């Protein structure tokens, strides 16, 4: 009986999807800091599916979007992940404005909000 229970749990876990529709993680990850502007193509894809991402853990977000370009610890154990999506000052291109996807985590380390920022 226990074997069947474990099998069902493993099957359900395997069915949980750590992907977004129309999102190419390899291209996203290969555009480090958004300096090639490849991530910009996928920003709208991510924003349209933000309800899928809300409530996910930090580990799940890293599995979907990869390692963030920067992280910031805020008050009360809140945290943000920043993914640069277009060329900007982070690429050494002077004062040019860029775009970033900011993933906000609450104190329990689950996504509470996603936003687009110009910096």
**Statement: residue 19 has pLDDT above 50:** yes
- Closest-CA residue to 88 (of 54, 55, 117, 56): 117
In the sheet where 99-105 sits, what is the strand order? 70-73, 79-84, 99-105, 111-118
> Residue 72 pLDDT > 80, yes or no?
yes
Query: pLDDT by residue (tens digit) across 52-62?
Result: 999 999 999 99
Token pair 């930090």 is found at 58
For residues 79-89, average pLDDT: 95
pTM for the model stands at 0.83
Higher pLDDT, 17 or 31: 31
Residue located via tokens 């799940």:
60
């Amino acid at each position: 009986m226990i074997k069947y229970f474990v099998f069902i749990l493993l099957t359900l876990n395997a069915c949980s999807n750590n992907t977004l529709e129309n999102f190419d993680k390899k291209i996203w990850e290969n555009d480090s800091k958004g300096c090639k502007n490849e991530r910009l193509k996928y920003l709208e894809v991510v924003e349209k599916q933000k309800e899928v991402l809300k409530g996910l853990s930090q580990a799940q977000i890293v599995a979907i979007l990869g390692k963030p370009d920067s992280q910031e610890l805020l008050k009360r154990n809140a945290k943000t992940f920043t993914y640069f999506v277009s060329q900007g000052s982070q690429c050494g291109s002077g004062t040019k404005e860029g775009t970033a996807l900011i993933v906000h985590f609450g104190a329990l380390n689950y996504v509470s909000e996603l936003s687009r920022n110009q910096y």
